[in-house]
Structure 1
């Protein structure tokens, strides 16, 4: 995976799904190519970074990104959306409310289906957790699920004022149930993992609730080499 913000490079997870990691927040972005449309999942920290992501994807695939899903409102995931021209966008309505200057074509309350041609992206709000507007993206045909920051493998789970600590384990339960625990789960920061690793993180989160152990504040991601 690339960590160069100037020249993102994509690593294949399957024949139709790729990821790249971009700085300064080690954000993992996803790319899915259907027969008719190309989907980008998360956009980086700035319009310039979003534009570079879209350009690198178009250069690799020979056609433009025309669909975008943003998994939550934090700047390192949503900040690049304004730099991606000509693409329809999906984001949870609570996340949209936190980004009043951002234009989103399809605010989501609970779920949406994005038809890419030959495969689809199931976009689901599993309930409040990392934020009040988390989305996960299930590419069921490829057995790949993008979980945003509900799961992190580049450091500890992080929180802000919209985090629902009690709801977070339930949100992860919904993700695992909705995917039958099958395939690869791509976190918003860090390497892809299987369902066992996801449920281990779910257990760690659940253990914090009765003793009120605080989570790490958003913005303090640990670089992968230090994790």
Structure 2
């Protein structure tokens, strides 16, 4: 059955998550949308989610909001319930209470500094202030970079435990240890470090991540191939030219 509220945009090429998402964001804003929801297609949710997120966004006066995200294979366990970037570890995304019982998310909405693009509702003004996703990131880390811009602009990101969705984590990229995932994770981690604009933070981050890659190989039994893939991805992220962020 056709639904005139739904518009499908077919692209000639696969530009990656950030580029594809930006196409949808632009179209939504041009159509006059008051808010924009980013939602991965490996999620499961019921028909109360959209209305619930809109209500919680208004009630909390947030600029962006996310539900608690649990594993599809075990809905009692947390995949995301707030998060932050740990700069002491060469920049690493930390999901609060990861793989812990969902009750640990509490019941009241709370502020966070990181939210994955897996499911995130933005106000129109937040998107206009922070801008689009950075297309230097094909997939992974684009949400971390965007959250940094939101925080720098003084925008408030919140999580509401009143709403939950199920997530088939990393199923679209072959799992977190697939060659594709490893390349994107380590390459884009270096790109994020470069985008801080601080040479000391970048140098420290590269040294810490590089030491961790070596440690995995020497002390934790990572394969020679795995270490090579990680090191090669880091080098790619450090040397590839960076683009200007796309305009709205």
Scaled by the length of structure 2, what TM-score is found? 0.29
More helix by share: 2
More strand by share: 1
Scaled by the length of structure 1, what TM-score is found? 0.31
